Amino acid sequence: MTTTPFVKDTRTLTLAGGLAVLQAAIAEAERIGQPMCISVVDTGGNLLAFGRMDGSKALSVFSTRNKAVTAALSNEPTGGAHADVELQVTLAQENKWTNLIGGLPIRVNGFVLGAVAAGSGTGTQDLAVARAGARAIAGADMFEDFEPRGAEDTGIIRGSHPEKVRSAPAQDRSACATD
C-alpha cells in the first residue's frame, strides 16, 4: 500500500476576490487613461469577473479571457514564450493558449488562486493593469523578474510599441492593432 496522499490542499479566488481584482485593474486603467477589457478567472480558468471599459477594443473581450486562462493554467505570465514557438504551442493547445502580454497568475505562497488579464493597450500597459489588479490580493506575486519574449514584445507584431505605430504610413495604420 502506498502512502501517497489522494487529496491535496488547493486555494482559489472567490467571487468577492475576483471583483476586488477587477476593480483594482479598472482603477489603474483609468489612471493611465487606457480603456481596457479585463478578465479574472479562478484556478481552473473559469471566469469570475469581467469588465469592458468604454472605448476598449472589442476583440480584447476574447483575448483577455485567453490570457487569463493561459496564466492560471500555466502558472506563468503570458508573453514569456519565445516568438519562434508561440504559434506551435497555440496550435497544440487548440487555440486556447496565448502568448500576448497581459495575463498574470495570481499566486500567493506558492498557490495559484486564479489569474487576471488586461487587453486593449500596449503589452506594457496590459501588464501594468493586470499587476494592479493582482495587488488587490494580499501577498500576490508581481512577477517582477518577468521578461516578455514573444512576437508582440520583440516588435514582430507592428504596433505593439507606440513609436512603431506613429512611424507607420497612414494607409498601414489599420493593421497596427495587436489585440
Model's pTM, two decimal places? 0.82
- Tens of pLDDT, residue by residue, the chain (179 residues): 566 788 888 899 999 999 999 999 999 999 999 999 999 999 999 999 999 999 999 999 999 999 999 999 999 999 988 878 878 787 787 777 898 999 999 999 999 999 999 999 999 999 999 999 999 999 999 999 998 887 776 555 545 444 433 333 444 434 444 45
Instruction: Find, among 72, 68, 134, 56, the residue nearest to 101 by Cα.
Output: 68
Measure CA 153 to chain center.
Answer: 14
Which three cell numbers mark 41? Answer: 478567472
pLDDT at 146: 92
Domains in the chain: ranges and CATH: 15-175 (3.30.450.150)
Which three cell numbers mark 43? Answer: 484556478
Instruction: Find, among 130, 145, 153, 142, the residue nearest to 81 by Cα.
Output: 153
Which three cell numbers mark 168? Answer: 507607420
pLDDT at 52: 98
Distances (CA, A) of 111 to 43, 72, 143: 9, 11, 14
Q: Which residue has the cell 487576471?
A: 116
pLDDT in tens, 36-51: 999 999 999 999 999 9
pLDDT at 9: 83
